[in-house]
Amino acid sequence: MNIRLIKTEDDYKLALSRLDVIFDAPTDTSESDEADILSLLIDEYENKYYPIEAPDPIEAIKIRMEEKQ
C-alpha cells in the first residue's frame, strides 16, 4: 500500500484509477483498507477543487414543479 496526499490533478486521476481496481476488494484486507483511505482522500480533493454549490431555492422549486408537471 503506497498512499500519499492528492495534491495535483495527476495525483487525483491516479487515485481514481487505483480505486477502480481495488473497489470490490474483500473486507478486512489491506486492499479494502487502501480503498477506504483513497476514498477519503479523493472526497477531500473533490470537495476542495470541485465543490457542488447548493441550488437556488426558487430554481429548485421550479425544477421540482417541472418534474411533477
- Determine contact, residues 37/15, Cβ cutoff 8 Å: no
Write down the domain spans for the chain. 9-68
Per-residue model confidence as pLDDT tens digits over 36-48: 999 999 999 999 9
CA distance 13 to 15: 5
DSSP output for the chain:
-------SHHHHHHHHHHHHHHTTPPTTSHHHHHHHHHHHHHHHHHHHHS--PPPPHHHHHHHHHHHH-
pTM over 0.85: no
Cell numbers representing residue 23 in the block: 473497489
Average pLDDT, the chain: 94
